[in-house]
A and B are shown apart, each in its own frame.
Chain A
């Protein structure tokens, strides 16, 4: 649905106000592609409507990026599964892409190929490409992804955690007389939950960056907040399995 290949059974898709260029890598890697990488990418690019000169330059760029220059004249049908997967990612990146969608990218790959692919994806991520992928394995979750949307029983559970950013996060639960006291320190935290007690005070659950935690605690104590719980958020995989 994200790639626009199928319609939703129910509900509606609200399109982005900006037009996004999407690259798509399907789950099933084609077994028999009867072209060389250069020919194949050229055909796919032309079908997309890309201009010849621009396309040829982009193909050469991609062949360098994915270290496939030596294999550019070999038919893809003779490639290993990992190399075919690289070609699939290359066809998805023919145009400058805003969003790369990968459906089960590690499915059926051996360990070495999985590591190679992970390295490729990390390199693309470092170049600023937004990647959305689906997976059952936790391998990519360990080292690559920033945010996980876990789907279970037709429901999406949004684990809005950032395990790979340089800063770790803490979860903090405290009680405070009036939530408006927090107005001047809101920039240090993200309120996740807030509930009022019969006594008139409020229990607030927030998330904050580890580096801001000490300052935040000082400010909260100064505002006579009562700290109930402080816990680090640093292991998303554990979170998912325990959920």
Chain B
């Protein structure tokens, strides 16, 4: 598995397909923190939504780095496409982890906030970025070529589902009218609610952890769905 991950990571690095989303990520961070001081949690909330969208781009380019022919060969050597995709998801998680850390470390280092963020605020910031990045990756994976044949549908699909997730988060109150539906929809709104708590927050309430956990559980379910659908499609 380590050899497979090393190969896929090197292949992705040499493809330079990560350059556009990474450049936009860096640009957004710089622009967002150009004027100081900034509110802490609100800024983290904004950059976490940005990361949620950019992870869609990273995911598609990562999953499509190899062409179809090479993918068949790599899967053959890997002894099945299951381990092949687990490795890709692991690399996606590592990208999400790295960018989440950069998103909270960079503004702290350049002192972009009015006061130094507390550990609780940094932890909340990290969790918001990481959980939304994982959610963005999981939702985008459903539109990779493993499940969607047309390249056009891939990009439209990813953009649509990520935008829809954000729109639904803002329409949460209307959706609540339909009992149970809120649990089926991507839980982006949970992170937005937490990050709307204000900078006066001293400690993290325990139910916040439960909400972040639910985002990760939801993303895990989507990833499971990816494997299930890809197995069905192969048959």
Binding site for B on A (CB under 8 A): 3-7, 24, 26-35, 43-44, 46-49, 88, 91
Contact = CB atoms under 8 A, between A and B. Distances in A.
A92 to B, nearest CB: 8
A19 B74 CA distance: 21
A5 B75 contact: yes
Interface stretch (B64-72, B93-101, B166-174, B184-192): B64-72
Contacts of A3: 76
Given A26-B73, A47-B4, A49-B3, 16 more contacts: A5-B72, A5-B75, A6-B234, A24-B72, A24-B73, A26-B72, A28-B67, A29-B69, A30-B69, A34-B11, A35-B10, A35-B14, A43-B3, A47-B3, A88-B73, A91-B77
Contact of B76 (A7, A24, A49): A24
A185 B80 CA distance: 50
Given A6-B234, A24-B76, A44-B77, A30 B67 contact: yes
Q: Mostly helix, strand, loop or mixed at chain B's interface?
A: helix
B235 interface: yes
7 contacts: A5-B76, A24-B76, A30-B67, A34-B14, A35-B11, A47-B74, A49-B3
A33 B70 contact: yes
A122 B4 CA distance: 33
Interface of B: 3-4, 6-7, 10-11, 14-15, 66-70, 72-78, 234-235
B73 A44 contact: yes
A196 to B, nearest CB: 47
Nearest to A39: B10
Contacts, number: 56
A30 B76 contact: no
A7 B11 CA distance: 29
A4 to B, nearest CB: 8
A46 B3 contact: yes
Contacts of B235: 7
Contacts of A48: 77
A42 to B, nearest CB: 9
A28 B69 contact: yes
Contacts of A24: 72-73, 76
B196 to A, nearest CB: 44
A46 to B, nearest CB: 4
A46 B7 contact: yes
A207 to B, nearest CB: 37
B78 A26 contact: no
Nearest to B83: A47
Nearest to B70: A30
A64 B115 CA distance: 65
A12 B2 CA distance: 34
B72 A28 contact: yes
Contacts of B76: 3-5, 24
B46 to A, nearest CB: 35
A51 to B, nearest CB: 12
Nearest to B13: A34
Nearest to A94: B77
Given A6-B234, A7-B234, A7-B235, A30 B3 contact: no
**Which 9 residue pairs spanning A and B have beta carbons closest together?**
A28-B69, A46-B3, A30-B70, A34-B14, A43-B7, A30-B69, A47-B77, A26-B72, A48-B77
Contacts of B70: 30, 33
A104 B33 CA distance: 56
A47 B83 CA distance: 11
Contacts of B68: 28
Contacts of B7: 43, 46-47
Given A28-B68, A29-B69, A47-B7, A34 B15 contact: yes
Contact of A32 (B67, B75, B77, B234): B67
Contacts of B78: 47
B233 to A, nearest CB: 11
Contacts of B234: 6-7
